[in-house]
A and B are shown apart, each in its own frame.
Chain A
Amino acid sequence: MHIAEGFLPLEWCVVWYALAIPIVAYGIDRAQKLREREQGVMPLLAVTAAFIFVLSALKLPSVTGSCSHPTGTGLGVVLFGPSITAFLSIIVLLFQALLLAHGGITTLGANTVSMGIVGPAVGWLAYIAVRKMKVGLLTSGFVAAFFADLMTYVVTAGQLATAFPATKGGILLSFEAFFGIFAVTQVPLAIIEGITVALALKLLQEHGVAVEMWQPKGVSVSEA
């Protein structure tokens, strides 16, 4: 999902930055308020970021004969919701852009929108939907992570397709090509990420962490 440095035309870099900045800013604000209100939340925030660090460093082989990596945002989605996850994602993306030449500064906005915002937002909506249907926490966590991971790559394919429509066949044909490269590869990885998040949630629960208490107000579904 990393669009490499300089690989998006300038106007698209601007568009994705413009979308990403306010949401990341909102996430930072929410994280700060959460920290002021709840003293015990900082270590859990750090662990959530660490989870993204670990999973997004693991490049795994997949069914398409190529390699890709999970995003690790699923845990953040379940614990804190999408805006804080956006904030944590941009930290990891910045690290990778500066030290690993993975992604880039010009494409940081676009990569934040896919991995940090739209992917997690879709995962979060899926999570709330299944949770409201009284599906258990672990299964719901799996669903959240699966969609957050997979949607990230669908968005990347969409971003590249809109920036580089095929001369014959347009955006749709481009999307098909990029979808084949990114999204198909990602399906098994999204499943693995789902299992990992379910395991992490189970372990947190076993150690007495109330995993659903940090979510944005009004979406508490802990009675389910």
Chain B
Amino acid sequence: MKLEVTTILAVLLVISFFSLLALTTAIPKAEWGGADGQGMELIEQSLNYEPWANPIWEPPSGEVESLLFALQAAIGSLIIGYYFGILKGRKESEK
């Protein structure tokens, strides 16, 4: 029973992820830019707003940016995996 709920949720997660990916072919005209960027663009264009401060440091390219995003996810995943590893070991040594 226990395993079943976990499996169902995991399968649901995979399905929903791929349905979002499938959207990119279903809506061919879209640009798939970030919503954050669209919001800021709206402010800049419709109100002629000039941001009064700039980021202290900006990733020099899309590649470097994706490197840092991957790093962010990797650090998080590492901690989560490490924790569940400990829990699993503890559970097994109790048996």
Contacts and interface: CB of A to CB of B under 8 A. Distances in A.
Interface of A: 1-7, 9-10, 43-44, 46-47, 49-54, 56-68, 95-102, 104-106, 138, 153, 156, 160, 164, 177-178, 181-182, 185-186, 188, 191-192, 195-196, 198-199, 202-204, 206-209
Contact of A47 (B12, B17, B51, B79): B79
Nearest to A104: B55
Interface in B35-50: 35-36, 38-40, 42-43, 47, 49
Q: Sort chain B's interface into a size bin.
A: 35 or more
B76 A160 contact: no
A5 B54 contact: yes
Contacts of B33: 66-67
Contact of B83 (A47, A101, A188): A47
Contact of A195 (B16, B43, B59, B72): B16
B56 A195 contact: no
A181 B9 contact: no
A-side interface mostly? helix
Name the 3 nearest CB pairs between A and B, nearest first: A65-B30, A6-B51, A53-B76
A202 B5 contact: yes
B23 A208 contact: no
A57 B40 CA distance: 19
A50 B13 contact: no
Interface in B44-73: 47, 49, 51-59, 65, 68-70, 72-73
